[in-house]
Structures are given as structure tokens and as C-alpha cells.
Amino acid sequence: MTLQQTLSIIKPDATRRNLSGKINAKIEDAGLRIIAQKRLCLTKEQAQKFYAVHAERSFFNDLCDYMISGPVIAQVLEGEDAVVRYREIMGATNPANAAEGTIRKEFAESIEANSVHGSDSPENAATEISFFFSTLEIAG
Ligand code: CMP
């Protein structure tokens, strides 16, 4: 077991429906700590930069437009094996495939409006955390 940090984003479909408290409760009930959190509106350029790895995908432009359609809440989560643990709590990318009790099963509207993002590796977590937060803003 390794103490890790991961980057979470509560996406515009969830902030629009006022679900951040319910999502945070699921995160905390699963034993992860929210050690940094901020609400912000991304610019199109910032969304494109954050999701640059998907730039060649057919859904890239729609995804970036969706991510700027309302406020998001960026978070740093900390806990044992936080990267994999948070992906378990989130559930599958497509809510149609997500397991019972997961955030996406309960709250996601579609594969695009899927309520939350979580880093997919410790290396990407470090990159994604530094995209949103300075070390001064993280209180572990
Ligand atoms: P996320 O975990 O934030 O990482 C990339 C996002 O792209 C993903 O969640 C979905 O919101 C979105 N995505 C992935 N696959 C598709 C798809 N086939 N169609 C539309 N959006 C997708």
C-alpha cells in the first residue's frame, strides 16, 4: 500500500445539479481525503490543454466545449493507492457500464457528462495536480 495523491474534477453536469456535496461524501466515505479543492471556470484553451492526450479523438472538441459549459471543482485526493481507489469509486467512464454504488452509476448523465474525472496513473496525477494547484494550495 502506498500513500498517493490523485486529481479529481467534479464536472459541469454535477455542479449544475448541485451534487458536489454528495460526490464529496462518497469520496470521504471511501476513505480518501480532499486535501485541496477549488471551483473555477476553465477557458477553452485550458480545457484543450488539460485533455491534450485526447486531441486526435472524434469527441475532443465536444468534450472541451462541455468542460467549459459551467464551473468545475478541481480537487486533490489523498489516500492509500488513491489513483486506483478513486477510479473504483468513480466507476466506468460510460455510466451504462458503471458498477452499482459508484459516482458515475448514481450521477452521470452520459459518457461525456460523466460527473467526475480522475487521473489514470500516478505519473499523470502529478502532471494534472500541477495543472490546477501550486504546492502552497495543497494541505495534506
Ligand atoms: P474523463 O475520465 O474525464 O477522460 C476523458 C473524457 O472523455 C472522459 O472522462 C469522458 O468524459 C470523455 N469521453 C471518453 N470517451 C468518450 C466518447 N466515446 N464519447 C464522448 N466522450 C468521451
Nearest alpha carbon, ligand 1 atom 1: 117
Nearest-angstrom CA–CA distance, 139 and 137:
6
Around ligand 1, the residues with Cβ closer than 6 Å are 54, 59, 63, 93, 111-112, 114, 117
Check if 117 is active-site. yes
Strands, sheet with 33-40, edge to edge from the N-terminal-most edge strand: 33-40, 72-80, 3-10, 116-118
Tell me the CA–centroid distance for residue 93 and ligand 1, in Å: 7
Q: Which residues of the chain have pLDDT under 50?
A: none
pLDDT tens-place string over residues 53-80? 999 999 999 999 999 999 999 999 999 9
CA of 63 to the centre of ligand 1 (A): 7
Straight-line distance from the first to the last Cα atom of the chain, in angstroms, rounded to the nearest whole number: 18
> DSSP state, 98?
P
Q: Give the pLDDT confidence score for residue 5 in this predicted structure.
A: 98
Catalytic-labelled residue, pool 26, 85, 104, 117: 117
Q: CA angle, 71 as apex, 69 and 77 as ends, to 5°? A: 125
Whether the model pTM is above 0.85: yes
